[in-house]
Amino acid sequence: MDLFNLPNPPLSALLSQLLLGLVNGSFYAILSLGLAVIFGLLNVINFAHGAMFMVGAVLTWMGLAYFNAGYWAMLVLAPAIVGLFGMLTERLLLRWIYKLDHLYGLLLTLGFTLLVEGAFRSVYGVSGLTYDTPDALSGATDLGFMFLPNYRAWVVVVSLGICFVTWFLIERTRLGAYLRAGTENPRLVEAFGVNVPLMITLTYGFGVALAAFAGVLAAPVIQVSPLMGQNLIIVVFAIVVIGGMGSIMGAILTGLALGVIEGLTKVVYPEASSTVVFVVMVIVLLIRPAGLFGTQK
């Protein structure tokens, strides 16, 4: 027992928790990024984001279990399916509430979440489904000072890549310029001949596809279960409060940073690891109520 109570945890334990924190941080980053993009244009806080993350993961599992479609196929297919599904729900449900107060958007997506999670729960129950790491990424690399599990490294790298691509698309391309303009003043953009309703539909689809992508990445590291998105989405909400939804880069950085903080807390004081994000939120609210990257309107 004494081994675990050392005052200074060994370096390798620290580094492996740091990596685990980066993995979680990558999921946080992708999810809060999607939330920010959706909120920017739709003015809806998408409570269903956690459910879409879950659907991405369960689809990955289903792909292998029923259709013999492996990890790499599902890495493309699951986000595509969820994205299309998201566009459909935007057309059928969300469209009707844009003129109402933001709060109705939260309530509608909450109801939608309960429907989706309830449906998956009635089929798969609440116990976890296991999904094996794809062969190409199994094993670990010896870095000398620690063993680096290949899959975790892959998650961090590909997540950062996706985040960068999204940031580049929105901040540096013409399409992104339309999107930013639409966030600023949708009616004016429409007057310039841009099909704003279509843009909204595509944006929602893209946002939830991002969530599903994170879900696929998570399938081999987190136990796949219909309830896996529930607790995650609340943590992501706290992260969004910490970062503010004003900036894409802010959402990414806050997500990663909070993941790392959570990982380090697991080393120093494991009991607090599930609450540390909320504690950080409280501190940020006290010092900088608008959030780290936000501006108070």
Partner 1 sequence: MNPMKQITPIAYRLLLVVLIAAPFLGAYPVFVMKLMCFALFASAFNLLLGYTGLLSFGHAAFLGGSAYVAGHAMKVWGLTPELGLLAGTLAGALLGWIFGLLAIRRQGIYFAMITLALAQMLFFIALRAPFTGGEDGLQGVPRGKLFGVIDLRNDLAMYYVLLVIVLAAFLLIARTIRSPFGQVLKGIKENEPRALSLGYDVARYKLLAFVISAALSGLAGSLKTLVLGFATLSDVHWSASGQVILMTLVGGLGTLSGPLVGASVVVVIENKIGEVGQLLAGLTGIEWPHSLGESVTMVMGALFVICVLAFRRGIMGEVIDFAQKRRQGRWGVSQNGSNQPAIRSGGVR
Smallest gap from Cβ 204 to partner 1, in A, equals 16
139: left (phi over 0), alpha (psi -120 to 50) or beta: left
**Residues binding partner 1: number (CB under 8 A):** 46
SS3 148: strand
Stretch that binds partner 1, among 5-13, 102-110, 170-178, 179-187 (CB under 8 A): 102-110
Binding mask 217-256 for partner 1 (x = CB under 8 A): -------------xx--xx-xx-xx---------------
SS3 165: helix
Smallest gap from Cβ 166 to partner 1, in A, equals 22
- Alpha-carbon distance of 112 to 21, in angstroms, equals 30
Our measurement of the distance from residue 233's CA atom to the centroid of its chain's CA atoms, rounded to an integer in Å, reads 8
Q: Which two tokens stand for residue 296?
A: 């108070």
Q: Is 110 in the site for partner 1 (CB under 8 A)?
A: yes
CB 47 within 8 A of CB 116: no
- Alpha-carbon distance of 27 to 9, in angstroms, equals 26
Comparison of 14 and 106: residue with beta carbon closer to partner 1: 106
Task: Name which of residues 58 to 77 contact partner 1 (CB under 8 A).
Answer: none
Instruction: Find tokens 């920017």 and name the residue.
Output: 40
Among 11, 84, 88, 115, binds partner 1 (CB under 8 A): 115
Cα 35–23–36 angle (5° rounding)? 10
Among 70, 77, 80, 121, binds partner 1 (CB under 8 A): 121
Among 1, 3, 6, 286, binds partner 1 (CB under 8 A): 286
Smallest gap from Cβ 68 to partner 1, in A, equals 29
CB 221 within 8 A of CB 138: no
Q: Is 261 in the site for partner 1 (CB under 8 A)?
A: no
Q: Is 279 in the site for partner 1 (CB under 8 A)?
A: yes
Q: Is 126 in the site for partner 1 (CB under 8 A)?
A: no
Our measurement of the distance from residue 276's CA atom to the centroid of its chain's CA atoms, rounded to an integer in Å, reads 18
CB 156 within 8 A of CB 30: no
Cα 222–28–235 angle (5° rounding)? 85
Smallest gap from Cβ 111 to partner 1, in A, equals 3
Comparison of 44 and 64: residue with beta carbon closer to partner 1: 44
User: Interface with partner 1 by CB under 8 A: which residues?
Assistant: 39, 45, 93, 96-97, 100-104, 106-108, 110-119, 121-122, 230-231, 234-235, 237-238, 240-241, 271, 274-275, 277-279, 281-282, 285-286, 289-290, 297
